[in-house]
């Protein structure tokens, strides 16, 4: 079993690289998968560190687990806040549901005062 634990560093390295690639994705699903793959890599590194008496590595991996959990919590809070803002943007000033957050119908558009005025001549040709 000693050889198996010694060889754990290579799968741990591959899993860490895969997790980093997933977390850098634009896809929410891939980023979430990257979180769990990172957790698996942390466990692998802890197993290898325990076998090799690398206690600083174990402490580092535990700290990374805590930071990953914190990052996931903060991302969840940010997502909830964004959905809350989108919901509130869909409501009009009376509190009734509006046409929807992405509606661009004429009834939902407000006219801004002075929006049809021409820019002053001193603004230049690029304005």
Q: In degrees to the nearest 10, what's the CA dihedral of 24, 26, 27, 31?
A: 20
- The answer to whether residue 127 scores a pLDDT higher than 50 is no
pTM above 0.85, yes or no: no
Cα→Cα distances 46→22, 32, 127, Å: 21, 22, 60
pLDDT digits (tens, 9 = 90+) for 2-14: 777 778 899 999 9
Per the domain annotation, does 57 fall within a domain? yes
Q: Where do we find the tokens 């942390």?
A: 42
Per the domain annotation, does 95 fall within a domain? no
Give the pLDDT band (50/70/90) at residue 88.
Answer: confident
Domain extent for 19? 2-88
Number of domains in the chain: 1
């Amino acid at each position: 079993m000693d050889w198996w634990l010694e060889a754990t560093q290579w799968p741990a390295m591959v899993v860490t690289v895969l997790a980093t690639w997933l977390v850098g994705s634009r896809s929410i699903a891939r980023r979430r998968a990257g979180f769990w793959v990172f957790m698996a890599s942390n466990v692998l590194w802890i197993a290898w560190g325990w076998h090799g008496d690398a206690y600083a590595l174990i402490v580092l991996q535990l700290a990374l687990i805590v930071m990953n959990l914190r990052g996931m919590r903060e991302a969840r809070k940010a997502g909830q806040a964004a959905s809350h803002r989108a919901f509130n943007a869909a409501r009009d000033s009376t509190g009734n549901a509006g046409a929807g957050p992405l509606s661009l119908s004429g009834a939902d558009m407000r006219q801004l005062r002075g929006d049809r005025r021409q820019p002053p001549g001193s603004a230049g040709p690029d304005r």
